[in-house]
A = this chain, B = another copy of it.
Amino acid sequence: MEETLQKMDAFFNPCSVAVVGATKKVDKAGHVIFKNFATNKERGVFKGELYPVNPNETSILGFKCYKSITEIPGEIELIVVIVPASIVPSIMEEAAAKKVKTAIIISSGFREVGNKEIEDQVVAIAKKGGIRVLGPNCLGVYYHKTGIDTLFLPETKVLTTGEEVVATPRPLPGGIAMITQSGAFGVAALDYLTGRQMGVSKFVSFGNKCDVSESDIIHYLLYDKETKVILMYIEDIKAGREFLKIAKKVTAKKPVVVIKSGRSSAGARAAASHTGAIAGSDKIYDAAFEQCGVIRARDMEEFFDIAKALAMQPPAMDKNIGILTDAGGPGVMTVDECEALGLTVERFSEETLRKFQELKDQNIILKIAATSNPVDLTGSVTDDMFVMAADLMFQDPKVNGIILLGLHHMPGLREVYIDGIKKIAENYTKPIVMCDIGETEMALYTRSRFDRLGVPSFTSPEDAARAMKALVAYGAYLQKEGHAEQYMDTFKKTSTPKS
């Protein structure tokens, strides 16, 4: 591994951590963060050395407290800094003296409020001392496996009724890396991903990115075996050329999905006062993302939907989509959205049409069913019909991916077809996504079961179409750049859905 990547690794796998600004005061970020580490160490998740640093304490949560970093006997790989901005430069001087590898500066009060000078000072000291700095003005890192957890927002809250409820949950392990310039959006994303049972490999909130930038992080994640898809929220990119170069390297192997906010002029103004971002022309961002294969989501829901599709399914190798439904109206909605997104829903090949006709002749599917694409098996659908039809569609060389609308309301449909669809899909390298509409038991069950089997489920026809569109766009990019074959090989080896 290159030296720069090795150093980045100390953010996620440090042998020793000092929490500078650790405190006993229960409502302080310095307490919450130290306690996260202490608890994770106790549980055997965090296996490194842990040192609280605070000149006013002798011990915190049973750990011997040090007056300064330099007093700590052993080596320190990572420091987490939660002290007022004005003191941070002196802390960094000590860290440099101690040969610390990495620093997460949680504190705010830097460039984002006009204190450019202190931030510049921190950067200069870090550079001289060879320390990589994440932040300032950030939430830092969450990595389930090594117990790195610098999130200081309360995991639960107690309502006025006396009930304790989950407020900022930690997600399950999984293939999605979430990196973000906005801490608030970051924890909101963790909350969303947790609730939707989408697993996270690494979480990084990088705030003002005075040193470590989105480019550094995605470069590190390129080599991270646990990460299959990278989700990125940004308000600006400072070193554009570097980003293009690195992103291009990353997207050859892993999809990168971005929300770039500050699109509008008022939005750019708001972003400037938020993270000091200079948003720049939105069209330039569009062009840059396209050039380096980064997929831009147009809104939050699409952001997560695309991530789910790319994490579970292979990309589509062309843009003609087969639609399979038991519900006419939602079928039409799906066709509409596909065409609006530049996908096509063409008539099947003659052979496929013939095979469907045979099924009709044998009374296996209804004579009145539409079977030229979309396939509408009507309210008379059964589990078997769905599976058979999907198989015929997968076989059609003109079909590059399938959108399945499995509306569970139809009387003849049970949940049996779900496993059947999964089994059929395994025989092909084409993507499949599904939609069931509804927010009560059977809809929730159906979607959750499909998700668990690695067939991404969506709550509306349009969401399913948008997810498929991302699979088509990423497939087109990989082919254009000549990476498709290698990507598919890796994808097949690493896709292991739970059952």
Contact = CB atoms under 8 A, between A and B. Distances in A.
Interface of A: 27, 113, 152-154, 157, 159-160, 165-169, 180-185, 187-189, 191-192, 194-196, 233, 235, 259, 261-267, 270-271, 273-275, 299-301, 326-333, 335-340, 344-346, 368, 370, 374, 376, 379, 407-411, 414-416, 437-445, 459-463
Contacts of A462: 299-301
A246 to B, nearest CB: 23
> Which 8 pairs across A and B sit closest by C-beta, in order of nearness?
A195-B439, A182-B329, A191-B438, A184-B327, A264-B339, A274-B328, A185-B329, A188-B437
Given A329-B181, A379-B184, A441-B166, A336 B267 contact: yes
13 contacts: A153-B379, A167-B440, A180-B329, A185-B329, A185-B333, A191-B443, A261-B329, A264-B336, A264-B339, A267-B339, A271-B328, A274-B329, A274-B331
A348 to B, nearest CB: 13
Contact of A165 (B168, B407, B411, B441): B441
Oligomer copy total: 2
A388 to B, nearest CB: 19
A14 to B, nearest CB: 26
Nearest to A265: B339
B340 A157 contact: no
A166 to B, nearest CB: 4
A332 B159 contact: no
B333 A261 contact: yes
B182 A368 contact: no
Contacts of A165: 441-442, 445
A439 to B, nearest CB: 2
A468 to B, nearest CB: 14
Contact of A332 (B166, B270, B407): B270
A213 to B, nearest CB: 17
B154 A411 contact: yes
A409 B328 contact: no
Contact of A301 (B194, B195, B460): B460
A326 B157 CA distance: 17
A439 B169 CA distance: 10
A187 to B, nearest CB: 5
B195 A113 contact: no
A148 to B, nearest CB: 19
A461 B274 CA distance: 16
Given A160-B416, A184-B410, 15 more contacts: A153-B379, A157-B408, A165-B445, A188-B330, A191-B409, A192-B439, A235-B332, A262-B332, A264-B339, A266-B339, A267-B339, A274-B370, A299-B460, A299-B461, A301-B301
A188 to B, nearest CB: 4
Nearest to A462: B299
Contacts of A379: 153, 183-184
